[in-house]
Amino acid sequence: MSELCQSLSSFFAFVALDSLDEVDPAQRVHMIELVNNRSSEPGNIWLVGSRFTEYKGGQFKHGQFAEWELLPMSSQLRQDLATRLFPELRRLLSPLLPNSSSPSAFVSLLEKHPHAAAWGENPLLFSLAAVIFVKTGGLPPARATLYRDVIEAVLAMREQDTIGRKHLLRALTSLALWLYQTRGRTFTSDDLLTFLEDIQHHSWEEAENIAKHIISSGFLDVVARDTYGFRHQTFQEYLAATELAKRLTSQDPTTKTPLTSLEKIPLANPRPEHNLSVSSLRNKLEKGVRQQHLENSNSQPQNDESE
């Protein structure tokens, strides 16, 4: 930290703030004021990155910041990216995969797909779709299926044993939801051990082993010493939503989350632009579970004493 402070004071470093959209909505106005005030001091260079949320619209002082907005990829950019991406994906996934899938065929299929065409505008979704295309020669029918297939592919590269993958996936989904409710996107090794030992009640040996597998799962980045974060918040949101769905539909009364408790589930940072975030899934699950409850009730004999 002392070296960083010295570099900043000597003008050999600049401040980069990424993912400002993950700031608590109640704190965003204060954060904008803080950035405007501190960046106006002489000798400062700031780089601010964020999804739109509440930061689009000139809140940062004019004359201090120049704003750029990433535009959707054009067809030519998609073709160029796929051409560079495919050889690397074949190398990572398996050298034994057939070499018949071509970048141009992938781009053409994606652009004509009734549900997946919009993925071509987003580099992340485009790259994830390319992973599935290289593996299967096709595209998943929906975004939720895309995330599921990609997560399974990443786990398969790290864990060859099927049972081991299932255990690791369970650990990741439960951790993702707990972090989403309590910590956010980044967490420390102490947080991880707290979750495994105090929340899930694993033994010392089990917690150490699971923690090592989670850290090397392929979904986390090291962001500081003993501090980790999901490589993309989309992965955390999908994993957390998967865990929430499992708890709502569980037949085990010891693990089932009652429908009435949905409103009590805290959301660290709900964003309406993510239709797979926990907030939207919560609404969809509530509707689906209520419909299932109604269907079950209609199929049961009614009597005067039934509620």
Domain boundaries, the chain: 1-69, 75-141, 162-289
Nearest one of 137, 141, 133 to 113, comparing CA atoms:
141
49 pLDDT band, cuts 50/70/90, is: confident
Transcribe 155-209 into DSSP letters. Answer: HHHH--SHHHHHHHHHHHHHHHHHHHHHT-SEEEHHHHHIIIIIIS---HHHHHH
Question: In the chain, how many H helices and how many E strands?
Answer: 11, 5
Query: Which amino acid does the sequence have at 16?
Result: A
Tell whether the model's pLDDT for residue 293 goes beyond 50.
no
Nearest one of 297, 265, 291 to 278, comparing CA atoms:
265
Query: pTM for the full model?
Result: 0.69
Name, in order, each residue with C-beta under 8 angstroms of 154's C-beta and a sequence gap of 6 or more: 217, 218, 219
Q: If residue 91 lies in a helix (H) or strand (E), which one and from where to where? A: helix 75-93
CA angle 92, 98, 104 (to 5 degrees): 85
Nearest one of 189, 170, 135 to 246, comparing CA atoms:
170
pLDDT in tens, 6-37: 777 776 777 777 777 777 778 888 888 888 88
Predicted pLDDT of residue 275: 40
pLDDT in tens, 105-150: 999 999 999 888 989 988 888 999 999 998 888 999 888 889 999 9
Tell whether the model's pLDDT for residue 69 goes beyond 60.
yes
Instruction: Pull the structure tokens for residue 152.
Output: 């399974």
Name, in order, each residue with C-beta under 8 angstroms of 289's C-beta and a sequence gap of 6 or more: 248, 249, 259
Is 214 within 8 Å of 172 (Cβ atoms)? Answer: yes
| Range in 147-161, 192-206, 229-243, 283-297 the model is least confident about | 283-297
Q: What is the average pLDDT across 154-169? A: 90
Predicted pLDDT of residue 256: 66
Q: What is the mean pLDDT of the chain?
A: 79
Higher pLDDT, 91 or 206: 206
Classify residue 181 as left (phi > 0), alpha (psi -120 to 50) or beta: alpha
| Range in 30-34, 63-67, 200-204, 246-250 the model is least confident about | 63-67
pLDDT in tens, 281-291: 555 555 554 55
pLDDT in tens, 254-281: 766 665 555 445 544 444 434 444 455 5
Instruction: Pull the structure tokens for residue 292.
Output: 């299932």
Tell whether the model's pLDDT for residue 52 goes beyond 70.
no
Q: How many Å apart are CA 222 and CA 243, to the nearest integer?
A: 24
Predicted pLDDT of residue 16: 77
Other residues' Cβ atoms within 10 Å of the Cβ of residue 171: 19
Q: How many Å apart are CA 228 and CA 75, to the nearest integer?
A: 35
Q: How many Å apart are CA 234 and CA 277, to the nearest integer?
A: 8
Instruction: Pull the structure tokens for residue 276.
Output: 């797979």
